[in-house]
Amino acid sequence: STQIRLARRPVGWPVHEDFETVTVDYDAPAAGEVRVRNEFVSVDPYMRGRMNDVRSYVPPYQLGDVIAGAAVGRVVASAADALPVGTAVLHQHGWTDVIQADAAKFRAIEEVPGLPLSLRLHMLGMTGLTAYVGLTTIAGMRAGDTVFISGAAGAVGTAAGQIAKLLGAGRVIGSAGSPEKVALLTDKYGYDAAFNYKEGAVRKQLANAAPDGVDVFFDNVGGDHLEAALASMNDGGRLALCGAITAYNTTERPVGPTNLANMITRSLSMQGFTIGSHWDKLPEFTEQMSGWFGAGKIAYDETIVDGIDNSVDAFLAMMRGANTGKMLVRIGE
């Protein structure tokens, strides 16, 4: 098995020297164990936070740890009745091509004919649930609301725009970092308007796209996007803070919005959330999302990097915006 481990804590943008590639040989599985060959491994923005030695909602990786995170694969050797050879599983063992561990550390997943296992790592999994919970539980989105989503062309963003529309949002606006992504948002993902945040001030572009103001802001980005949203919010508006990727790789203290007082004058509410506290919504989400999927109402994109050895590159490329939809590492035969 080839595993990617944390060798050193990154400062600012991670570099290759912060990681090491280690080869591990396994004996035959002991009683209760299974061996899983991964098919897709997820690279996620939150992993950057876990590389720092700071208090957060998940404990930091320790030096020498495999970069833990979601992956899907198939049982290739089994000494556990619950997970026979061939079972498709979801787990959190992260950046490795093969993993052998206690069967309790893997969850069997139902395979949907015609759909790739990888969907369990985004639209039919954690990032889809994040979009759903952010819009419903956190932002209390109502039919007719104007919704603004930052980071709209990524994994969470492509889910959020479609879910907002399917739940009856009036106008959905997205921002992303390239003309191709902006075109995709309106052509494929049902956004009513979209803009490239690199082409001009977010505040001005958002004001143009939302002439009647914004009722719900779903934020993946922070920084100038949060400030722009605060400037465009309607009275009683709700802001769901999902991520702040502008700050993940900076070494400087991020600057806060200068217009936070709009929270008072417009009676706004702002709530941050982490999806780990909302797994109770998984059955409700799965039912809704499977229904939409089955009805052909959900589009998705995957940006795929091949080979476990390229996990670090995939992770860095994702944080630089190389992905459309979900960034994944695919493990070949």
- Hey, which bits of the chain come out as E strands? 2-6, 19-23, 33-42, 71-78, 88-91, 98-102, 106-108, 146-149, 171-176, 193-196, 214-219, 233-241, 269-272, 302-306, 326-330
In the block, tokens 């050879």 appear at: 85
Per-residue b or e along 89-108, where b marks 16 or more CB atoms closer than 10 Å to that residue's CB: bbbebbbbbbbbbebeebee
Q: Min. distance of Cβ 2 from ligand NDP in angstroms? A: 24
Span 269-298, contacts to ligand NDP by CB under 6 A: 273-275
Find the helix packing angle between 126-133 and 282-294, rounded to 10°: 100
Q: Min. distance of Cβ 139 from ligand NDP in angstroms? A: 13
Q: Which of 99, 245, 308, 314 binds ligand NDP (CB under 6 A)?
A: 245
Q: Closest CB to ligand NDP among 24 and 279?
A: 279
- Which among 318, 256, 320 has a CA at the least distance from the CA of 121? 318
Residue 45 touches ligand NDP, criterion: CB under 6 A: yes
Residue 3 touches ligand NDP, criterion: CB under 6 A: no
Span 153-172, contacts to ligand NDP by CB under 6 A: 153-157
Span 116-145, contacts to ligand NDP by CB under 6 A: 127, 130
Size of the site for ligand NDP (CB under 6 A): 30
Q: Closest CB to ligand NDP among 125 and 237?
A: 125
Residue 36 touches ligand NDP, criterion: CB under 6 A: no
Q: Could you give the string, one character per residue 73-112, with x where binding to ligand NDP holds by CB under 6 A and - elsewhere?
A: ----------------------------------------
Q: Closest CB to ligand NDP among 98 and 156?
A: 156
CA distance 103 to 80: 6
Give the ranges where the chain is alpha helix by DSSP (H): 46-50, 126-133, 155-166, 179-187, 202-209, 224-232, 262-265, 282-294, 311-319
Which residues contact ligand NDP by CB under 6 A?
44-46, 127, 130, 151, 153-157, 176-178, 181, 197, 220-221, 242-243, 245-246, 273-275, 318-319, 321, 323, 327
